[in-house]
C-alpha cells in the first residue's frame, strides 16, 4: 500500500469534534468534504425531466465507504455500488458509486453546490476552521496524492476544473501555505514541494499518524544530510592538507637536487627539515610540534617561500601536484 493510500485511509477515519464544534458546523463540514470529493472525481448524470445524479469511481475502499455514508445518512440517497477488479498489474478493486438521476438527487447536488455544474462552493461556507479543513480533506480524498517521505517532498491535488484548482490554492493560502499550479494533459495540478508545507497540509486535513511518519523520516533525512555534508567537508579539507603537504615535500626535493638544505636561510631550513620529518602533518600539527615557537601562519608563509624557490629551479616542477 502506498503512502498516499495510507493517508487517505487515515483521513477517512477522521471524526469531527462534537464537543468543540456545533452540530451545524459539523453538518456543514461534512457537506463541504463530500462536495469537494465529488467535485474532484465525480461525474454528473443527467436524466429525464431535469433529474440529476452523480457517479464516482475510486480504488480506495475507505473513500467509497465514507462518501456512501454521507450520501445515505445526510441526503437519504439510494446509492448503487459496483465492485470490479482493476485491469492493471496490481489488479486493485475499483468501487463505483452511482446515484441514479432523480429529483432527490438533483436537490442533494444543489445542496452540495454541485448543480448547476458551473456552481462553486460559496466563500461563506469557508468562514470556519473546520469547514476549511474539510475542504482540503475532501479535495485530497477525491484527487490527492503525496509521495512517500523517503523520496522528494511532493503533495498534489489533481482536478479537471481550473476554477476549483484556484479555490484549493485560495483555501491553502488561508492556512498560510503557498501552493503552485500547473497544467498536465487537460488536468490542473495544485502542488506543494516544500517539506514544511506538506506536513502542515497533512496536519490540517487530519492525518496525525501520517504526519508523524513523515516527520520521523524527514528528521532522519536531515540528520543524514548534515552528516554527509560534514563528512564531505572534512574529506575535502583533508584532501587539501594532503595535496599541500605533497607539494611542499616535492618542492623540498627539487631544492635538494640543486643545493643542500643547510645552505638555506635558517628560517627556511628549520621549516624544510620540520616538513621532511613530518610529511603527513597539517600546519596545525606542525605548530604543535614546534610547541608554539612558530605559528601556523608563520609555518605556512615559510613553506610558500620554499615552493617559490623550488619554482626558480624548476618552473614546472610543481604543476602536477
C-alpha cell, 320: 602536477
Mean pLDDT (the chain, rounded) = 89
3-state SS of 245-305 is HHHHHHHHHHHHHHCCHHHCCHHHHHHHHHHHHCCCCCHHHHHHHCCCCCCHHHHHHHHHH
Choose among 154, 151, 137: nearest CA to 194: 154
How far apart are alpha carbons 71 and 132 in whole angstroms? 20
For residue 60, give the 3-state DSSP assignment. Answer: coil
**pLDDT tens digit string along 152-206?**
889 999 999 999 999 999 999 999 999 999 998 889 999 999 989 999 999 999 9
Torsion angle of C-alpha atoms 110, 114, 120, 125, degrees rounded to 10:
60
Choose among 155, 151, 160: nearest CA to 183: 160
- Report yes or no: 201 and 192 within 8 Å, Cβ to Cβ: yes
Q: How confident is the model at residue 218 (pLDDT cuts 50, 70, 90)?
A: confident
pLDDT for the residue numbered 253: 87
How far apart are alpha carbons 311 and 98 in whole angstroms? 86
Domains and CATH numbers, the chain: 3-206 (3.10.28.10), 226-313 (no CATH)
pTM comes to 0.72
Could you tell me what percent of the chain has a pLDDT over 90? 49
**pLDDT tens digit string along 17-63?**
888 889 999 999 999 999 999 999 899 999 998 899 999 999 999 99
- Report yes or no: 97 and 103 within 8 Å, Cβ to Cβ: no
Q: How confident is the model at residue 150 (pLDDT cuts 50, 70, 90)?
A: confident
Distances (CA, A) of 40 to 87, 139, 221: 22, 6, 33
Q: Which residue bears the cell 610547541? A: 291
For 48, left (φ over 0), alpha (ψ -120 to 50), or beta?
beta
Amino acid at each position: 500500500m502506498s503512502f498516499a493510500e495510507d493517508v487517505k485511509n487515515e483521513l477517512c477515519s477522521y471524526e469531527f469534534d462534537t464537543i468543540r464544534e456545533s452540530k451545524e458546523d459539523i453538518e456543514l463540514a461534512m457537506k463541504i468534504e463530500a462536495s469537494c470529493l465529488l467535485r474532484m472525481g465525480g461525474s454528473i448524470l443527467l436524466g429525464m425531466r431535469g433529474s440529476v445524479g452523480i457517479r464516482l469511481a475510486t480504488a480506495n475502499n475507505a473513500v467509497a465507504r465514507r462518501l456512501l455514508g454521507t450520501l445515505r445518512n445526510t441526503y437519504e440517497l439510494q446509492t448503487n455500488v459496483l465492485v470490479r477488479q482493476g485491469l492493471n498489474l496490481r489488479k486493485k478493486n475499483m468501487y463505483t458509486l452511482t446515484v441514479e438521476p432523480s429529483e432527490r438527487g438533483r436537490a442533494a447536488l444543489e445542496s452540495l453546490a454541485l448543480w448547476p455544474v458551473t456552481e462553486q462552493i460559496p466563500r461563506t461556507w469557508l468562514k470556519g476552521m473546520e469547514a476549511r479543513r474539510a475542504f482540503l480533506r475532501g479535495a485530497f480524498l477525491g484527487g490527492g496524492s503525496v509521495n512517500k517521505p523517503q523520496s522528494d517532498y511532493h503533495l498534489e491535488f489533481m482536478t479537471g476544473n481550473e476554477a476549483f484548482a484556484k479555490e484549493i490554492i485560495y483555501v491553502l493560502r488561508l492556512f498560510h501555505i503557498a501552493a503552485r499550479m500547473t497544467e498536465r494533459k487537460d488536468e490542473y495540478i495544485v502542488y506543494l514541494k516544500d517539506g514544511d508545507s506538506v506536513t502542515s497540509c497533512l496536519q490540517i486535513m487530519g492525518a496525525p499518524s501520517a504526519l508523524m511518519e513523515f516527520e520521523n523520516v524527514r528528521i532522519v533525512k536531515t540528520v543524514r544530510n548534515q552528516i554527509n555534508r560534514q563528512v564531505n567537508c572534512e574529506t575535502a579539507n583533508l584532501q587539501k592538507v594532503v595535496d599541500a603537504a605533497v607539494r611542499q615535500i616535492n618542492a623540498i626535493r627539487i631544492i635538494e637536487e640543486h643545493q643542500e638544505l643547510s645552505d638555506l636561510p635558517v628560517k627556511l631550513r628549520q621549516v624544510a627539515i620540520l616538513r621532511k620529518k613530518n610529511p603527513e602533518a597539517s600546519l596545525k600539527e606542525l605548530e604543535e610540534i614546534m610547541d608554539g615557537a612558530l605559528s601556523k601562519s608563520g609555518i605556512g608563509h615559510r613553506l610558500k617561500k620554499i615552493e617559490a624557490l623550488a619554482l626558480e629551479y624548476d618552473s614546472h616542477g610543481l604543476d602536477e601536484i
